Structure 1
């Protein structure tokens, strides 16, 4: 079952915003120039962090035009992060997904819509009972066009809901692929208690409110 980590002793180190440790290494990541990932075989890549990657992976794979969703880590300052290390909250990384998609079928703009439609947009440093900086919400941009799309959608959503949106916006730097046993976890372990009680309900909530014409019949 997914680990639930309650961070009592380190909460004083964080502001009300999503945050990893406030140190020079993390600030450098947040202020870096974005790295743009080239198309490969006509497919583009986008990167999102939104709580447990087991949940997010399945959500994006339910969207037409998404070829694959890979679980991993991004947004931090340590090299070769592992699941155990990221769970300490001391790597700066968040659980993230790499979305491989066909830009002729689905746009980056729609992928951002999927992101906001599939989470509690107000929760800081986590989703549901998955709490801590490793579960914080981050949208990664690779160029100024993507950054503008994200900021405009975040601002519009904040005005519509009259709330503060918790998601941070980071320049993409690098995506570290997670351990093999994390990949396609929802598909391979449908009877896992976390999948049954958290991942699948979250997926169903998303699919119930997202336009049906943008969703696959099955994922």
Structure 2
């Protein structure tokens, strides 16, 4: 649950702040939405970014995923502020990938295979608008792919309830604090990870028909 997650990370936050002589967390954390040469980027909000980051990084063709915040109006938000549900931001992952190996369309499939897009402002035990489902796009082509995916899934029997996933232009992305990055990799025995993140990942592996990297 959100409270458990906040409490479990508060110690990390305090440690980081105590090591920062300026005590500044989340300042100037905007990420330039420009992909390296030959690469592409895409952003997805599908609940806890610890889980989402781990899932996308397991997909063949994905170079890395960064945990952060998008979809809101607050500039340079912090984790604590986003959890007040007043910033408009959702926990989001920015995915860096090789478009010659994996397409945006396939990443959209990863998105729908890895969370429940029918629960408004909730994903598993986490509740609030910061955990809502959002498909971000940067181009008209990506928007059309996302729209078609939502339409196709809505017309199928894949989910028993209506899709509530938002479709939004990616206007800004803010990198989350460092203790959130690759959280599952660094904290495999943390309570939330064992109770929520790992089971969600295992469920994704059973549902996803695409290629995953060795070791996953």
TM-score clears 0.5:
yes
Structure 2 counterpart of 1:75? 71
Secondary structure of 1:160's aligned partner? coil
Structure 1 counterpart of 2:84? 88
Q: CA deviation at 1:169?
A: 0.4
Structure 2 counterpart of 1:127? 123
Structure 2 counterpart of 1:53? 49
Is the Cα contact below 8 Å between 1:37 and 1:142 reproduced in 2? no
Taking structure 1 as the reference length, what is the TM-score of the superposition?
0.82
Query: Does 2:121 correspond to 1:107?
Result: no
Structure 1 counterpart of 2:213? 216
Distance of 2:215 and 2:131 partners within structure 1: 27
Aligned length in residues: 188
Aligned Cα root-mean-square deviation (Å): 1.7
Query: Does 2:164 correspond to 1:166?
Result: yes
Secondary structure of 1:47's aligned partner? strand
Q: CA deviation at 1:163?
A: 3.3
Distance of 1:62 and 1:195 partners within structure 2: 16
Taking structure 2 as the reference length, what is the TM-score of the superposition?
0.83
The unaligned stretches of length 5 or more in structure 2 are: 6-31
Secondary structure of 2:38's aligned partner? coil
Is the Cα contact below 8 Å between 1:2 and 1:194 reproduced in 2? no
Distance of 2:89 and 2:34 partners within structure 1: 23
Is the Cα contact below 8 Å between 1:4 and 1:129 reproduced in 2? no
Question: Would you identify which runs of 4 or more consecutive aligned residues in structure 1 move more than 3 Å?
Answer: 36-39
Structure 1 counterpart of 2:3? 3
Secondary structure of 1:149's aligned partner? helix
Secondary structure of 2:119's aligned partner? coil
Distance of 1:87 and 1:163 partners within structure 2: 27
Secondary structure of 1:215's aligned partner? coil
Q: Deviations over 1:71-108 (max 9, x none)?
A: 00000001010000000000010000000101111000
